[in-house]
Structure 1
Amino acid sequence: MTRTTKIEAGRGIATLINVFTVLPERQAELVALLSRATEETMRGRPGFLSANLHASADGERVVNYAQWESEAHFRAMLADPAAREHMAQAAGLAESFDPRIYAVESVHRATGAPS
């Protein structure tokens, strides 16, 4: 089964939104590192559903929007030494970062848009 990001209210999953502040000249490097970490480590962790990396047009932010089956699965990943190594590398590239777990409360689509 292919797992892709599906944003729905009441789905009961844990959504990680981590906003990194980065120097513009380091943005591409941070995106590459997070992408590699996702492929090499996160994808294989129990409970991982999806991850999406967003780079701001001004070069100053990278946002990781990731979905986990539960907050417990996310917390278990944090204890994985390989995951911790990748996170330390990302922290070293960023000026700051702000990871938080969210629940989707509301979703809105354009009139007539497929659901």
Structure 2
Amino acid sequence: MATVEECEDALHRLATRLSDNGEAAPRQARVRRTLSCTVRDLGVVFTGLLDDGKLTGIARASDPQAQVRLELGSDDLLELVDGSLRIGPALATGRVKVGAGVRDLLLLRSLL
């Protein structure tokens, strides 16, 4: 099981990667959405803002309410960010749960 700090670091790595690829972000990624990431095994929630293909304002929060809600285990978060876990199979097997509209699901797939 990964630690809270490792999960937060993974989200910051994802934010850096998205920022570095900002100009190359797909057109559908150029939206503004609030994002929450609930790490089930650690009982922690991170929130942020997905804006124009960039992830900003990552912080711990008590309320997972957001336009796009991810729920996953700590190890799954690390694997997802590192690229060793693909979002499609993770959703199909229940390792990752997403609360979002179809358009936002496609957005997540293009970003991860």
Band of TM-score, shorter chain: 0.3 to 0.5
Greater share of helix = 2
Decide which structure has the larger Cα Rg and report it. Answer: 1
TM-score w.r.t. structure 2 length? 0.35
Tell me which of the two structures has the higher relative contact order, counting C-alpha pairs closer than 8 angstroms and 6 or more residues apart.
1
